[in-house]
Structure 1
């Protein structure tokens, strides 16, 4: 029994470093909550950023999804990003907590008002960051926006970027 157990443990120990090594490196930013490291698509755990084409309303409409992606790209550029897998999603991406040094990328995005927390997954890990961003009117909290899942649903139903970004009933 013991040799069998040792073999199982050794197989996990030898397999894990290869996986972990694959999730450390320079990242290519896909959008405000998704990145690629060594060809592996990774979704940031616990947050949801506006879609790349999504518009938000401040004094005038602006591409809040593009702003989120560009801000994450500027922050991550040239840094080594390390990700710890938490789960997978229905699109085959790894869901992970990722950091650049000591900076949690999910917290970075939520605290700047460039993503919302998904409390059903994060269990409130970023709640205080979101509250501070909201109170300070940072990012999407400076005006009106449609929550990213509602925007995506509208687009999948055949809506346009303008229509789906401007839903009075669905906006915050």
Structure 2
């Protein structure tokens, strides 16, 4: 697979903006697909991460990242796509706009409220997202953190990598304290494993390791 990707880039780079890719779609997540043997990041959209959660208006949390991927998979999996390459991102994915049966995949995904317009990289779907918002489509009917903000919190150690281990074992001037979801300082607490801080899967595990519960 790596060899195929490298050949593609080297051969087509002089006219990269108009390079065409075609093949059958395999959905990876809300904004990433495989077309044939090539990994494609859809241009100018941003979907929730696979492990990201959202809340309904009643405050019920659910895995909206996985839900979004399932909706897109149901609509596009196995379809034949024609993509126009625009760039390569830092993960070596080809950034492209893709069409299926003459329809822009990115526009269709944003119109259904399965992803947001990623205005940092293009205004292509700005009006499409605004229409989806007005109509309460998909994610717009939920309480959802922007995918970019979710990723930033993860980098700062504020979002667990393992959804089953969400208790934060923090080390401060007050000692080793663990915070559980819903407590006052949970969201603002970051975990720096290089300092000895860690995630726990249960309060018993945290207590046995020498951490005490936060008072609030």
Give every structure 1 segment of 4 or more consecutive aligned residues whose post-TM-superposition deviation is greater than 3 Å: none
Q: Report the equivalent of 2:35.
A: 37
Q: Secondary structure at the match of 2:114?
A: coil
Greater share of helix = 1
Q: Secondary structure at the match of 2:33?
A: strand
Q: CA deviation at 1:77?
A: 2.3
Q: Tell me, in whole angstroms, the C-alpha distance in 2 between the residues paired with 1:34 and 1:152.
A: 16
Q: Tell me, in whole angstroms, the C-alpha distance in 1 between the residues paired with 2:54 and 2:86.
A: 30
Corresponding residue to 2:25 among 9, 19, 27: 27
Query: How many residues are matched?
Result: 149
Return closer, same or farther for 1:78/1:27 CA change in 2, 3 Å cut-off. Answer: closer
Q: Report the equivalent of 2:135.
A: 136
Q: Report the equivalent of 1:97.
A: 97
Q: CA deviation at 1:167?
A: 6.2
Unmatched segments (≥5 aa) in structure 2:
1-10, 167-180, 189-216
Unmatched segments (≥5 aa) in structure 1:
1-10
Larger radius of gyration: 2
Greater share of strand = 2
8 Å Cα contact 1:68/1:109 also seen in 2? no
Q: Report the equivalent of 1:7.
A: none
Q: Tell me, in whole angstroms, the C-alpha distance in 2 between the residues paired with 1:64 and 1:105.
A: 19
Deviation readout 1:50-108 (Å, 9 max, x if unpaired): 00111111132121111211111111123101110011111100000011111111111
Q: Report the equivalent of 2:48.
A: 50
* TM, length-normalised to structure 1: 0.78
Q: Tell me, in whole angstroms, the C-alpha distance in 1 between the residues paired with 2:136 and 2:118.
A: 19
8 Å Cα contact 1:56/1:63 also seen in 2? yes
Give the superposed CA RMSD. 2.3
Deviation readout 1:27-69 (Å, 9 max, x if unpaired): 1111000011222110000000000111111132121111211
Higher relative contact order (CA 8 A, sep 6+): 1
